[in-house]
Chains A and B, each alone.
Chain A
Amino acid sequence: MTRAPLSWSMRIGLAILGFYVAVALLSLVWTPHDPLSPGVGDGFLPPSVEFPLGTDRLGSDVLSRLMAGTQYNLGIAVLAVAIALTVGSILGVIAGYYGGATDIAISRGVEVFQAFPGLLFAMLIVKAVGPGVVNVILVLSFVGIPDYVRLARAEVQSRRNWPYAEAARMVGNRSWQVAFRHILPNSTGPLLAFTSINAAFVALVTASLGFLGLGLSPNTPEWGNMIARGQDGVMTGEWWISFFPGLAILGMTGAFYLLGDALSDLTDPRRRR
């Protein structure tokens, strides 16, 4: 079998994400101005050489805040998704492989949690547990877990009785070894594709929470926060404060979607061609 070359959507997606990672790292050591301090310029300055993306109501530099925001938006998305993927697939594998009462308990629980619409659910728990980066990450991963459970469970169920699983059992592997070492690795494709799509969703919800002022403290240069801060300016013509963070979200979310598309094309032979 020859390995298919990287598709253009994969390349573009990876390139954009690489750029965001680079910006996030750069912002740790250097930004044009201090992203957190107000009054580095006058308030509501339109884009200029000194402030390429203008300043906000408090006179903070939009570009610096945008760069620093990459740490939050990208970091939250990556960590939340990593936790959801890990916990969700473990639960899903257990439900799918062992079946019976375990499966029923896990699946019913998942169904109940899925009855809450994602964003609303996230809003409620964040409101309940309080703001903060760690809380936001935990809440967003919690919201995502049911989807991973369902996906992993379905994958494992479809493979549980395949010949190589039988073979692995016959040579004396313990059941958890068969489930996690022999069956789960065959499902990484669909799981990873979904993870990428889920990262896009998490990025959007993070921004939404920020926009509502629920996620992080108000001065955090998170992109949704920034859009909220510029909301009034939109009415009076100071569009740049809200506009550029939206573009930043577009780029990151779009890159996750492109990557997810490319991954599912790779793993679903029917969609290749």
Chain B
Amino acid sequence: MARLILQRLFWLLPVALGVVTITFFAARVFGGDPTELYTPPEATDALRAEIRERLGLADPLWVQYVRYIGDIARLDFGVSFSTNQSVGADLTDRLPATLELGLVGLGLGVLLGVPLGVLAAVTREGPTDFLVRGITLTGMALPQFWIGLVLIWVFFVILGWLPGPVGRLPIGVDLPAPITGFLLIDLLLLGDMERWRLAVLQLVLPAGTLAIATLAPIARVTRASMVEALQSDYIRTAIAMGHGKRAVWFRYALRNALLPVVTLVGVLAGYVFGGAVLLESIFGWPGLGQYALQAIESSDFAALQGFVIYAALLYVLAFLAVDVLYMVIDPRMRR
């Protein structure tokens, strides 16, 4: 198994190289001359040339490309001109916020979506199935940002039960110095229950939105593969041996039915941890998605390149994790 993981990791190298290459050339072709971003408009040609020299832009493209690859290999993504920090540091700072939101949201999505899918499968063609399918279809057909806005409207504006979309803590409440960076864990470690409560309340709506958006496809796929598993020969055997319904569903069918669900959750995780861009922007969530959006808006190419490479690698790593989980669930995959 370890060998297979190594093999897969090795496989990632060409993909990673491709991603980096495309990003580099896309930035050069579409991004225009980065010198302009660092140069005041009234600068003299001499100053311009000097800046070009300093940025290494005077070298031939292939030299720049090789240097770029070298930098990336050392995980050096350059400096963001809007934050004046190294892009690597920016990404590291913002990663925990995205991970926290993603883990809670996607976790809820799985915890709700899988049972819903099972429920629909075992009541196939009945009213419950119909209802679940309606819910999942709606959840999948709605844009995430709109779900977020409607939740804000209902729970913050109308009902006033939950706080507004202002990030991880209410305005005026300071973030503690990061220990793990995961706010809920840090505040527990500090024993600061009051701020912990506030942080949880802030998390409910964005995580809830993410949960709704992810539970829909999860429930759908669970239902489909569960229906298939329930029609299989081995389930017929389990029933013929006198196993009860619940054992048949949850012990014998579900484990087989989970394979496609694992794939889907992997894809969703790659997307969610890459920064649910729109979600973070709506809820003022200071994560990677917001960072990427700001980078796009301000044409901050160093930041963008760093983010894109990070997101792409994460996506690919999510697929690797899926492969590993597959081997855990399905013995036929172990070699």
A and B: direct contact (Cβ < 8 Å)?
Answer: yes
Taking Cβ atoms with an 8 Å cutoff, the residues of A that contact B are 108-109, 111-113, 115-117, 119-120, 123-125, 127-129, 200, 204, 207-208, 211-212, 214, 224, 227, 231, 234-237, 239, 242-243, 245-246, 249-251, 253-254, 257-258, 270-271
Binary flags per residue of B1-12, CB closer than 8 Å to A gives 1, else 0? 000000000000
Query: Cβ of B278: which chain A residues have Cβ within 8 Å of it?
Result: 119, 208, 211-212
Q: A117-B270, A211-B143, A253-B142 are in contact. List 13 more A-B contacts (CB 8 A).
A: A108-B14, A111-B15, A116-B311, A119-B278, A127-B296, A207-B146, A224-B143, A243-B150, A246-B146, A249-B143, A249-B146, A250-B138, A253-B141
28 residue pairs bridging A and B, Cβ less than 8 Å apart: A108-B18, A109-B18, A112-B19, A115-B16, A115-B19, A115-B312, A115-B313, A115-B315, A115-B316, A117-B270, A120-B308, A123-B277, A123-B296, A124-B308, A125-B30, A127-B296, A128-B26, A207-B143, A212-B293, A234-B152, A235-B157, A246-B150, A249-B143, A253-B141, A257-B137, A257-B140, A257-B141, A258-B137
> Which residues of chain A are within 8 angstroms of B14 by Cβ–Cβ distance?
108
Q: Which residue of A lies closest to B316 (CB)?
A: A115
Distance in Å from the Cβ of B272 to the closest Cβ of chain A?
A: 10
Give which listed residue, A128, A239, A249, contacts B31 with CB less than 8 A. Answer: A128
Asked if B149 CB lies within 8 Å of chain A CBs, one says yes
Residue of B nearest to A264 (CB): B224
A residues less than 8 Å from B277 (CB atoms) = 119-120, 123, 212
List residues of chain A with CB within 8 A of the CB of B18. Answer: 108-109, 111-112, 115
* Closest CB in chain B relative to A12 CB, distance in Å: 10
Min CB gap A39→B, angstroms: 25
Question: Contacts of B311 on A, CB cut-off 8 Å?
Answer: 116-117, 120
How near does chain B come to A115, taking the closest CB pair, in angstroms? 4
Decide: A116 near B146, CB < 8 A? Known: A129-B30, A254-B137. no
Taking the nearest CB of chain A, how far is it from the CB of B201, in angstroms? 17
> Cβ of A224: which chain B residues have Cβ within 8 Å of it?
143
- The answer to the question of B145 belonging to the interface, with a C-beta cut-off of 8 Å to chain A, is yes
Find chain B residues with CB under 8 A from A127 CB: 296
Which residues in window 272-321 of B have CB below 8 A to A? Answer: 274, 277-278, 281-282, 292-293, 296, 304, 308, 311-313, 315-316
Q: Contacts A124-B296, A124-B304, A214-B296 known; A117 to B315 CB distance under 8 Å?
A: yes
- Contacts A127-B296, A235-B164 given; indicate if A115 touches B149 (C-beta within 8 A): no
Contact B140 A128 (CB under 8 A): no
B153 within 8 A of A: yes
Do B19 and A208 touch (CB < 8 A)? no
A258 CA / B136 CA spacing, docked (Å): 11
Answer whether A253 and B140 are a contact pair too, CB < 8 Å, given A108-B18, A124-B304.
yes
Distance of A84 Cα from B43 Cα, bound (Å): 45
Name the B residues within 8 Å of A270 (CB-CB).
228
Mark contacts of B237-276 with chain A using CB atoms, 8 A cut-off: 1 yes-contact digit, 0 otherwise.
Answer: 0000000000000000000000000000000001100100
Residue ID in chain B nearest A116 by CB atoms: B312
Give A243 to B153 CA distance when docked, in angstroms: 10
Q: Contacting B145 at CB < 8 Å: which of A124, A208, A258?
A: A208
Q: A120-B292, A124-B296, A208-B278 are in contact. Are A254 and B138 (CB under 8 A)?
A: yes
Cβ contact within 8 Å between B145 and A211: yes
- Inter-chain CA distance A214–B14, complex, in Å, is 31
Q: Which of A109, A117, A253 contacts B271 (CB 8 A)?
A: A117
Contact A234:B143 (CB < 8 A) given known A116-B19, A116-B308, A212-B293: no
B61 at the interface (CB under 8 A from A): no
A113, B142: Cα distance in complex, Å: 26
Q: Which residues of A lie under 8 Å from residue B137 when comparing CB positions? A: 254, 257-258
B49 at the interface (CB under 8 A from A): no
A124/B26 in contact, CB under 8 A: yes
Shortest C-beta distance, B120 to chain A (Å), equals 13
A227-B146 CB under 8 A given contacts A117-B311, A124-B308: yes
B22 in the interface, Cβ–Cβ < 8 Å? yes
**Which residues does chain B contribute within 8 Å of A257, judged by CB atoms?**
137, 140-141
Residues of A close to B19: CB separation below 8 A: 112, 115-116
A127 to B303, CA, bound (A): 14
User: Quick one: which of A112, A128, A237 contacts B30, CB cutoff 8 A?
Assistant: A128
Query: Please, how many angstroms separate the alpha-carbon atoms of A76 and B86 in the complex?
Result: 39
How far, in angstroms, from A112 to B142 measured CA to CA in the complex? 29
Contacts of A245 in B (CB 8 A): 146
Q: Is the CB of A254 within 8 A of B141?
A: yes
Q: Indicate the member of A108, A117, A235, A271 with the most B CB atoms within 10 Å.
A: A117
Find the residue from B19, B146, B296 having the highest chain A CB count within 10 A: B146
Q: How far is the CB of B42 from chain A (nearest CB, A)?
A: 27
Q: Give A254's nearest chain B residue, CB to CB.
A: B141
B304 proximity list for chain A (CB < 8 A): 124
- Which residues does chain B contribute within 8 Å of A200, judged by CB atoms? 140-141
Residues of chain B in range 149-171 having any CB-CB distance to chain A below 8 Å: 149-150, 152-153, 157, 164
Q: Are B142 and A250 in contact (CB under 8 A)?
A: yes
Residues of A within 8 A of B150 (CB): 243, 246
Q: How far is the CA of A180 from the CA of B224 in the complex (A)?
A: 32
Q: Is the CB of B140 within 8 A of A227?
A: no
Name B153's contact: one of A112, A211, A234, A250 (CB within 8 Å): A234
Q: Which residues of B contact A129 (CB under 8 A)?
A: 30
Of the residues A108, A112, A236, A271, contact of B22 by C-beta under 8 Å = A112
**Segment 201-230 of B: residues with Cβ below 8 Å from A:** 224, 228
Q: How far is the CA of A12 from the CA of B22 in the complex (A)?
A: 42
Residues of chain A within 8 A of B145, CB atoms compared: 208, 211, 227
